[in-house]
């Protein structure tokens, strides 16, 4: 093996490797003192861990269930003090903050739609100049601006249609 089988050493010690992989690791260990030392260290740690696990007392199911019931009761008492579970209050706060942000954005957007005095003056000058685009709006609305620039440029030369001179019904 060209590289050290570091991730295979624990499965090797526990007998979890397939026969071919186990043979490759064993062959590598025969020629590599560094990996043999690591294997021996891992074997010692595994033995110590097994002894410590054996010394742990077996869990008592009655004590476990009693502790679980106590913790659940504490959680229920905390939730009932506030009326709602804690996550509901957090959700309500997040929803309120979002609503405030949306209201502010809507208010700012509405304020930005109010035209300035300069914009109103420019629009008045344009309408006084007699551009006449509004008169020819039915034609203009069906044109592609860049493709029909010549038509837009010569709108005044188009023949008048009947619907341009009809008065609006009262």
Domain coordinates in residue numbering, the chain: 6-55, 83-114, 119-159
pTM of the model: 0.36
From first to last of its 170 residues, what are the pLDDT tens digits of the chain? 468 898 999 999 999 999 999 999 999 999 999 999 999 999 999 999 889 988 988 888 898 899 999 999 988 877 666 655 656 667 777 888 888 888 888 777 665 566 666 766 776 666 655 555 555 556 555 555 555 566 666 667 767 766 555 444 44
Contact 151, 143 (CB under 8 A): yes
For residue 11, what are its two tokens? Answer: 């499965």
Instruction: Give φ, ψ of 88 to 5 degrees.
Output: -70, -40
Which token pair is 162? 């009947």
């Amino acid at each position: 093996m060209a590289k050290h089988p570091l991730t295979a050493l624990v499965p090797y010690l526990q007998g979890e490797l397939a026969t071919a992989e186990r043979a490759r690791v064993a062959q590598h260990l025969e020629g590599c003192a560094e990996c043999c030392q690591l294997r021996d260290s891992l074997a010692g740690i595994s033995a110590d861990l097994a002894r410590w696990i054996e010394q742990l007392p077996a869990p008592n199911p009655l004590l476990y269930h009693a502790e679980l019931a106590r913790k659940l009761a504490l959680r229920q008492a905390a939730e009932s003090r506030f009326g709602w579970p804690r996550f509901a209050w957090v959700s309500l706060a997040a929803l309120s903050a979002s609503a405030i942000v949306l209201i502010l954005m809507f208010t700012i957007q509405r304020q930005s739609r109010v035209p300035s005095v300069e914009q109103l003056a420019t629009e008045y000058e344009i309408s006084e100049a007699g551009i006449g685009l509004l008169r020819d709006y039915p034609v203009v609305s069906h044109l592609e601006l860049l493709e029909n620039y010549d038509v837009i440029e010569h709108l005044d030369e188009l023949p008048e249609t009947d619907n341009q001179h009809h008065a609006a019904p009262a």
